[in-house]
């Protein structure tokens, strides 16, 4: 009898251990799926970030171009020319055509 109860106790402990192992494996699989989902989001976010970085770089270039135009216009105005040289050349001596 003592041997039977020991066998039953061992079986009970083994079943309990197996149940715990299954629960731990399920939790681990859920955690792996979560890591996978978060990694996928990271890849998407990095792609969006790269697109935004390229847009910002284009805008910086646009701003630099616009600032160059502004500086040329300011220089023209500082020289006293209110029209581009090609316009003033097309006008006569007193601004007539």
Strand (E) or helix (H) holding 16: helix 2-78
Could you give the CA distance from residue 89 to residue 97 in angstroms, rounded to a whole number? 10
**pLDDT (0 to 100) of residue 85:** 59
Give the per-residue pLDDT at 97: 45
> How many CB atoms are located within 10 Å of the residue 14 CB?
10
Q: Look at residues 30, 9, 28 and name the one whose alpha carbon lies nearest to residue 20.
A: 28
Question: What dihedral do alpha carbons 64, 67, 73, 78 form, nearest 10°?
Answer: -120
Residue written as token pair 């006293």:
80
pLDDT of residue 96: 52
pLDDT confidence of residue 66: 98
pTM recorded for the entire structure: 0.54
Q: Which of 30-34, 57-61, 80-84 is the least confident region? A: 80-84
> Is residue 69 scored above 90 in pLDDT?
yes
pLDDT digits (tens, 9 = 90+) for 72-97: 999 999 998 666 555 555 555 555 54
Q: Is the pLDDT assigned to residue 5 strictly greater than 60?
A: yes
| CB-CB neighbours of 77 under 10 Å | 10
Find the angle CA(67)-CA(72)-CA(78) to the nearest 5 degrees.
Answer: 125
């Amino acid at each position: 009898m003592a041997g039977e109860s020991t066998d039953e106790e061992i079986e009970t402990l083994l079943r309990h251990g197996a149940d715990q192992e299954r629960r731990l494996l399920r939790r681990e699989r859920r955690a792996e799926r979560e890591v996978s989902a978060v990694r996928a989001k990271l890849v998407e976010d990095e792609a969006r970030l790269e697109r935004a970085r390229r847009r910002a770089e284009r805008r910086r270039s646009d701003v630099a171009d616009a600032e160059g135009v502004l500086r040329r216009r300011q220089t023209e105005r500082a020289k006293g020319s209110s029209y581009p040289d090609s316009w003033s050349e097309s006008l006569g001596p007193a601004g007539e055509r």
